[in-house]
Amino acid sequence: MARNKIALVGAGNIGGTLALLAGLKELGDVVLFDIVDGIPQGKALDIAQSAPVEGFDANFSGASDYSAIAGADVVIVTAGIPRKPGMSRDDLLATNMKVMKAVGEGIKMHAPDAFVICITNPLDAMVWVLREACGLPHNKVVGMAGVLDSARFRHFLAEEMQVSVEDVSAFVLGGHGDTMVPMVRHSTVAGISLPDLVKMGWITQEKLDAIVDRTRNGGAEIVGLLKAGSAFYAPASSAIAMAESYLKDKKRVLPCAAYLSGEYGVDGFYVGVPAVIGADGIERIVELELNETEMDGFTHSVNAVRGLIDACKNLEGA
Ligand code: APR
């Protein structure tokens, strides 16, 4: 059986990390694509040379021509510019929108059967632009945000309660910005919900509130530390989990920016919700029953995403 083909559009910090992880997990052969000639080729060769040491088999190549992504099973898009300190994800909108249009054209022409995962920010708007540009079915184009935001939440919770990250499960809903809604009631340690853990004295309400806040600003915290660029290890891990669920038909339930057609009262754009990812792409949206506070937070977040989509439409008309 031939190996899967994974195309990485954007060979920067996240792209390079994605390539290494795809290799280490033997998900398939990897093509790195970038407009800057030399970078994708150099990273491909470097990672290929780590394979004998790490003991994995996969072909790695780099290209600056879209024909190289032909026939890809999965395309992961990180092309564009990342944030600098003081910038919000939304400040990237105009520049990255143009990039998404070019990338979408490339996918439409060369990889129309792929499962496409967008990482470029501002995520919820960029995945919408990318889908419009490539014309693939909505269930085959998805945004990576929720796995990352939930991973940040899980890390902070595990650290605070001194338990394994593996036993902490968490969900974050809504857009990938500071309006995101960490779902306290639905997050657990070994099946025990966070409100119950507060009652049990494992964590104080104040600590929990602070962690919710830190999660919302998790990306900005790293931008502030790195100063040049934004987070890349955890974003890459998160997208690889989504790609793996698709390629292996694992049907994992992962929070991601999925296209909603009426679910959660949202119609016609992408917002972070839990979804089942399997061989058909986004196979099912999980509709949680939200209480009033959660619904308020979610609505606030959805309105922020709607504002970004409107800004994209206005730029389009400009
Ligand atoms: N086509 C292909 N690649 C492009 C294009 C384009 N039109 N425009 C820019 N790129 C490439 C750049 O040359 C660069 O190599 O995209 C890459 C982006 O890499 P980095 O600058 O290292 O950014 P990274 O940290 O990987 O983040 C990429 O993901 O999380 C988001 O906010 C982040 O939008 C940013 C994206």
Q: Which is nearest to 177 in space by CA: 274, 272, 310, 86?
A: 272
For ligand 1, atom 15, name the residue with the nearest CA.
12
Q: Which is nearest to 121 in space by CA: 197, 232, 29, 21?
A: 232
pTM: 0.97
Interatomic CA distance for residues 282 and 142, integer angstroms: 8
Q: Is 68 in the pocket of ligand 1 (CB under 6 A)?
A: no
Interatomic CA distance for residues 21 and 17, integer angstroms: 6
**Residue 99 CA to ligand 1 centre (angstroms):** 9
Query: Both tokens of residue 280?
Result: 């058909």
* Predicted pLDDT of residue 318: 56
Per-residue model confidence as pLDDT tens for the chain (318 residues): 789 999 999 999 999 999 999 999 999 999 999 999 999 999 999 999 999 999 999 999 999 999 999 999 999 999 998 887 888 887 889 899 999 999 999 999 999 999 999 999 999 999 999 999 999 999 999 999 999 999 999 999 999 999 999 999 998 999 988 899 999 999 999 999 999 999 999 999 999 999 999 999 999 999 999 998 899 999 999 999 999 999 999 999 999 999 999 999 999 999 999 999 999 999 999 999 999 999 999 999 999 999 999 999 888 765
Report the amino acid identity of residue 253: V
Report the amino acid identity of residue 126: M
Contact 100, 89 (CB under 8 A): no
Q: Is 138 noted as a catalytic residue in this protein?
A: no
Contact 116, 130 (CB under 8 A): yes
Q: Is 70 in the pocket of ligand 1 (CB under 6 A)?
A: no
- Which of 34, 99, 103 is the best mutation target for the ligand 1 pocket, counting ligand atoms within 8 Å of the beta carbon and taking the most? 34
